[in-house]
Chains A and B, each alone.
Chain A
């Protein structure tokens, strides 16, 4: 079969696949079923009273649907460790200090050659790093009153950690960007999450139940604690993965 005929056949096959998928999806996308209103009505009426958080989205993923959050932290853990394992055993340039036997890495961790380490990069990212980090912590801790929360603050913290790693000088060691510290923070946050989730069992409101509901303290303290834990886990995990890929570290 000539080259052009093969190309046309290939394009026809792709078009057929796309048309089949479109035929399956059009009833989904163009359905005229009305969007159910009962969830929104219930949450607007009772969300603040039951969980103490004004931000309804935080009340959902930390209260009503907390198991989704637990599953998501597990997926993060598995994906990040899987990614690092796949890269490291392929002889990639990774940050030193990962505890790998020296035979696997093809070359030691290299920092940017002097030509590329311009002052612009160092000044901008190094000076902006702490600002982004502070903003991330703010977004994380105010998640119950304003837009923000665990996931949102966590990914901003991860970006701040990447900034710090990009802007640090060659021989300066920053304790926040060293891989061991980030791994310790992530593991500790996961353990704390399980501990906080089990605390509901002791107080009689079930797994992931709010142990402070009906007690003296306001129930929103539990939401804030969970937000902080999840933010630390997401931030440390994603920051660790990015630093490993950038080839920066101590």
Chain B
């Protein structure tokens, strides 16, 4: 039993989530500011969580809470996994920001080229 989205909309949702992932990845690779790299990390996290929940919700049409009369339930396993993933994601973000903070205190800038120059000038 499928939920009521057509085949075209399925592909459209997947492509949009893939675009979100690629934007986050381009942020990590292409941005020079460390904080913007961490922005990209958070965006990738959101894209993956969205993918799991969107795909898991296609096979049913009611929330995973057993009640008296409900139809088929959406898949509860990806939801349980994504709970853990969200909390761990915020922990990783906090740790990354703490490291970025230390870099700023040591070199005075968030720009990785600037930090690279200073490190090579010191060595």
> Measuring CB to CB, which residues of chain A are less than 8 angstroms from any residue of chain B?
10-11, 14, 17-18, 21-22, 25-26, 29-30, 35, 37, 39-40, 43-44, 47-48, 54-57, 60-61, 65, 68-69, 72, 75-76, 79-80, 82-83, 86-87, 90-92, 145-147, 149, 151-152, 155, 234, 238, 241
Tell me whether B112 is interfacial, beta carbon within 8 Å.
no
Q: Which of B18, B21, B63, B65 has the largest count of A CB atoms less than 10 A from its CB?
A: B65
Looking at the complex, which one of A10, A39, A83 makes contact with B98 (CB distance below 8 Å)?
A83
**Does A56 contact B105, Cβ atoms closer than 8 Å?**
no
8 extra interface residue pairs, beta carbon distance < 8 Å, beyond A57-B64, A149-B83, A151-B83: A14-B26, A30-B11, A40-B60, A56-B76, A57-B76, A79-B94, A80-B94, A83-B94
- Can you give 20 contacting A-B residue pairs, CB < 8 Å? A11-B30, A14-B26, A18-B22, A18-B25, A21-B22, A25-B22, A48-B66, A55-B64, A56-B66, A57-B79, A61-B83, A68-B80, A80-B94, A86-B102, A90-B102, A90-B105, A149-B83, A151-B84, A151-B87, A241-B94
Instruction: Count B interface residues, CB 8 Å.
Output: 46
Let me know if B65 and A37 touch, CB within 8 A.
no
In-complex Cβ contact of A61 among B51, B80, B98 (8 A): B80
Q: How far is the CA of A234 from the CA of B84 in the complex (A)?
A: 11
Residues of the B chain whose Cβ atoms lie less than 8 Å from the Cβ of A26 = 18
**How many inter-chain contacts with C-beta < 8 Å in the A-B complex?**
130
Whether the Cβ atoms of A79 and B91 lie closer than 8 Å is: yes
Give Cα distance in the complex from A95 to B84, angstroms.
29
